Amino acid sequence: MDKINLDRADSNFKKELASQPGGETISACFTCRTCTASCPITAVNDKFNPLRIIRMALYGLKEEVLTSDFIWLCSGCYACQERCPQGVSITEFMTLLKNLAVKEGNMPTGIRAQRDTIKGEGRIYPIDDFDNKKRAKVALPPIPTSCNVVEKLFPPVRN
Amino acid sequence: MKYAFFLGCTIPARSRNYELSARKVADKLGIELIDVEDFICCGFPMKASDYKSAEVMGAYNLCLAQEKDLDICVLCSSCASQLTEVAHSLSEDGPDREQINDELSRAGLKYGGGVKVRHFARVLLEDIGIEKIKEHFVKDLSDLKTATHYGCHYLKPSEIYDGFDDVENPKSIETLVALTGARVIDYPGKKRCCGGPVLPVDENVALSVAKEKLDDIVDAGADAMCLVCPFCSVMYDDNQKSIESEFGADYNLPVLYLTQILGLAMGFDRKELGLNINVVKTKKLLSRYFD
């Protein structure tokens, strides 16, 4: 793994994070690595390392973190957050980073597809007549095949 | 006992076996599950990309339960955590109530708080109780060796779950499984995540995480896995063949839902519990329980 390069650090990033849900507690991190030791993703792929991501954020490496692929490897399992002796909301913090990355236009195709399907159809797996046939066959009630309320909840953004 | 039955997205599309068996078990125990046609996605899969919209979706669903004056019972652990979390942030002293209600007003709704969200397994333990459940068992499953998988969002984040089970030493699922007489096999990675949420990002990483648990369970000598979440089942049941071919492994490990195990002990037949729908075949393992 490469060394952390501080040349392009943004000293405001820490404050920006601290003012948002999930970012309030990261300064309490005392680098004990309980998060990394507990992480099921790090165990199979060390590209993802929660401690390193927290350090990078605290050092102000905003662009490097928000354009990275690795923040998206967090499974959101809460193993780290439950065990953090400093009470850092690590999982919520990873969610914050992903949300900020999206605002900057960075997100994996699969995550974008999920978001668009849910906002358009109201479900991640839209139901069609064939699904309802299979359900009827085992006497399960039908599920609506369309959803109108999402248009009201998420009106198109006017530019 | 009456609840708004929240199925979420994965169950009606991919886990009819879970839904079927849960409805049967609920029926037997006198739990009335009310279908709410207008429920939409709980918002969980959108949390990573758009936290606020995910919260709006969760809150919309809570409003529908509120209109019917019912608490919510869910089968999916991710739905449980998302809806419970939103119920917390929208509680009387919660941080987001006003802002989210502004968004909901576009759909003519307002959340007033008070809807309780619980997983089906938790409803069984807290509202029915183990003695009453046991009264309905007609078959002894003591020949079955199961490995329970709690998954993540059934228990976590613990701060939203009123301490109903212990995150580091959970017991609720095995308590229910053990009632049937089935043996519960311990194994090293019991608390490990299934890897599911990483599937749309990096399939190899997601399958690698799932593989570790399958290895541990087979090494420990279990005959079957017991789950309470449909997405965990996507990883261990639907994707078991892919994991076998990707990593050159051979598991052939049936993956059962808790409700299928309870329904088996209650004497329901194979099709009533959707056991014929499970991807890894259950026929050989369970043949001794059917005529």
pLDDT digit string, tens, across residues B70-99: 999 999 999 999 999 999 999 887 778 899
- Region B120-148 average pLDDT: 98
pLDDT score at A30: 97
Give the Cα separation of A158 and B156 in Å (integer).
38
B219 burial level (CB within 10 Å; 0-12, 13-18, 19+) = exposed
Compute the average pLDDT of residues B100-107: 95
Give pLDDT tens digits for A94-139.
Answer: 999 999 999 999 999 999 999 999 999 999 999 999 999 999 999 9
Please list every residue in chain A whose beta carbon sits closer than 8 Å to the beta carbon of residue B10.
Answer: 124-125
Structure confidence by residue, pLDDT tens digits, B234-259: 999 999 999 999 999 999 999 999 99
What the block records as the tokens of A129 is 């007549």
**Segments making up each domain of chain B, as ranges:** 2-120, 130-289
Residue B188: the pLDDT is: 95
- pLDDT over 90 for what percent of chain B? 96
- In this prediction the ipTM stands at 0.95
Band of residue B201 on the pLDDT scale cut at 50, 70, 90: very high
User: Taking the domains of chain A in order of start, what are their residue ranges?
Assistant: 13-103, 109-153
Residue A159: the pLDDT is 47
pLDDT at A7: 83
Strand ranges, E, within chain B: 2-6, 32-35, 72-74, 117-119, 145-148, 183-184, 224-227, 255-257
Of residues B9, B197, B212, nearest to A125 (C-beta): B9
Mean pLDDT, range B261-280, rounded to an integer: 97
Fold topology of A13-103: Fumarate Reductase Iron-sulfur Protein; Chain B, domain 2 (1.10.1060)
Helix, strand, or coil (residue A23): coil
Mutate to test the interface with B, among A149, A151, A157 (most CBs of B within 10 A): A149
- A135: chain B residues, CB-CB within 8 Å: 12, 16
Distance between CA atoms of residues B187 and B225, nearest Å: 11
> How would residue A158 be classed by pLDDT, with cut points 50, 70 and 90?
low
Q: What is the pLDDT of residues B139-163, one digit of tens each?
A: 999 999 999 999 999 999 999 999 9
Average pLDDT over residues B219-243: 98
- Residue A77 to chain B, least CA–CA distance (Å): 5
CATH number of this structure's domain B130-289: 3.40.50.11810
Looking at CATH, the fold of the domain delimited by B2-120 is given as Glutathione S-transferase Yfyf (Class Pi); Chain A, domain 2 (1.20.1050)
